[in-house]
Chain A
Amino acid sequence: MSDGYVSRRAFMAAAAGAGGAFLVAGWPEAAAAAERARDRAEHAGKARYKVLTTAEADDIIALTSTIMPSDGTPGAKEAGVVFFVDQSLATTSKDMRKPLQAMLADVNAQVAKAWPGQSHASGLSDQMRIELMTWIEKEKPQHFGMLKGLTLAGMFAMPSRGGNRDKAGWKLIGFKDQFSWKAPYGWYDGEGAK
Chain B
Amino acid sequence: MTDHVHHHAQAASGPAPKTPRYSPKEAVDFVVVGSGSAGGVVARELSMAGFKVLVLEQGPRLGPNDFVHDEIKIQQDAFLTNKFEQQPGTFRISADKKAKKMMPIVYGRAVGGGSVHFTANFWRLHPIDFKERSKIGPIAGTSFEDWPISYEDLEPYYTKVEWDIGVAGLAGASPFDPPRSKPYPMPPHPIASTGVLMEKGAKKLGWTAFPAPMAITSRPYRGRSGCAACGFCLGFGCEVGAKSSTLYTAIPDAEKTGRCEVRPDCYVRKVEVNDKGLVTGVIYFDKQKREVFQRAKAVVICANGAETPRLLLMSKSNRFPNGLANSSGVVGQNIMFNGNVIANGVFEHEVNGYKGVAVSRIIHDTYELDPGKVGFYGGGGFDFRQIFTPIVFGFAGVPPETPQWGAKFKQALAHGFTRTVNAFGHTTSLPVPTNNLTLDDEVKDAWGLPVNRLTFKEHPNDLKVYKWFADRAKDLLDAAGAQTSWAFPTPTGDEEQTGGQVHLLGTCRMGNDPATSVIDRNHRAHDVPNLFMVDGSSMVTGGRGQPTMTIMAMAFRAGDLIAQAAKRGEIPSAG
A and B pair up: yes
Residue numbers of A with Cβ under 8 A of B are 1, 4-22, 24, 26-27, 29, 66-69, 71, 73, 75, 130, 133, 137, 144, 148-149, 151-153, 155-158, 160-161, 169-170, 172-175, 177-190, 192-193
- Of the candidates B73, B80, B356, B502, the one whose C-beta lies within 8 Å of that of A185 is B356
The interface residues of chain A lying within 8 Å CB-to-CB of B354 are 175
| A172 CA to B103 CA, complexed, in Å | 33
The interface residues of chain A lying within 8 Å CB-to-CB of B414 are 73, 172-174
Q: What's the dominant secondary structure at chain A's contact region?
A: loop
The interface residues of chain A lying within 8 Å CB-to-CB of B391 are 22, 152-153, 156-157
Contacts A/B (CB < 8 Å), 27 sampled: A9-B499, A12-B500, A14-B396, A17-B500, A19-B77, A19-B78, A19-B103, A20-B103, A21-B75, A22-B71, A66-B406, A67-B406, A69-B410, A71-B410, A137-B405, A148-B395, A152-B391, A156-B391, A173-B390, A173-B416, A175-B417, A180-B229, A181-B355, A183-B190, A186-B350, A187-B350, A193-B196
A185 and B499 in contact, given A20-B84, A71-B410, A161-B72 (Cβ under 8 angstroms): no
Q: B349 contacts A187, CB within 8 Å?
A: yes
Considering only residues 331-383 of chain B, those with a C-beta below 8 Å from chain A are 340, 342, 347, 349-356
Q: B76 contacts A22, CB within 8 Å?
A: yes
| A170 CA to B354 CA, complexed, in Å | 12
Q: A6 contacts B83, CB within 8 Å?
A: no
The answer to whether the Cβ of B230 comes within 8 Å of any Cβ in the partner chain is yes
| A160 CA to B349 CA, complexed, in Å | 31
Q: B400 contacts A6, CB within 8 Å?
A: yes
The interface residues of chain A lying within 8 Å CB-to-CB of B393 are 156, 173
The answer to whether the Cβ of B495 comes within 8 Å of any Cβ in the partner chain is yes
Residue numbers of B with Cβ under 8 A of A are 69-78, 80-81, 83-85, 103, 106, 117, 190-193, 195-197, 228-231, 235, 239, 340, 342, 347, 349-356, 387, 390-396, 398, 400, 404-407, 409-410, 413-414, 416-418, 488-491, 495, 497-502
Q: A18 contacts B106, CB within 8 Å?
A: yes
A181 and B229 in contact, given A10-B395, A19-B76, A174-B417 (Cβ under 8 angstroms): yes
Q: B395 contacts A4, CB within 8 Å?
A: yes
| A2 CA to B81 CA, complexed, in Å | 20
Q: A153 contacts B72, CB within 8 Å?
A: yes
| A4 CA to B403 CA, complexed, in Å | 12
| A172 CA to B356 CA, complexed, in Å | 21
Q: A22 contacts B192, CB within 8 Å?
A: no
Q: A21 contacts B392, CB within 8 Å?
A: yes
The interface residues of chain A lying within 8 Å CB-to-CB of B117 are 17
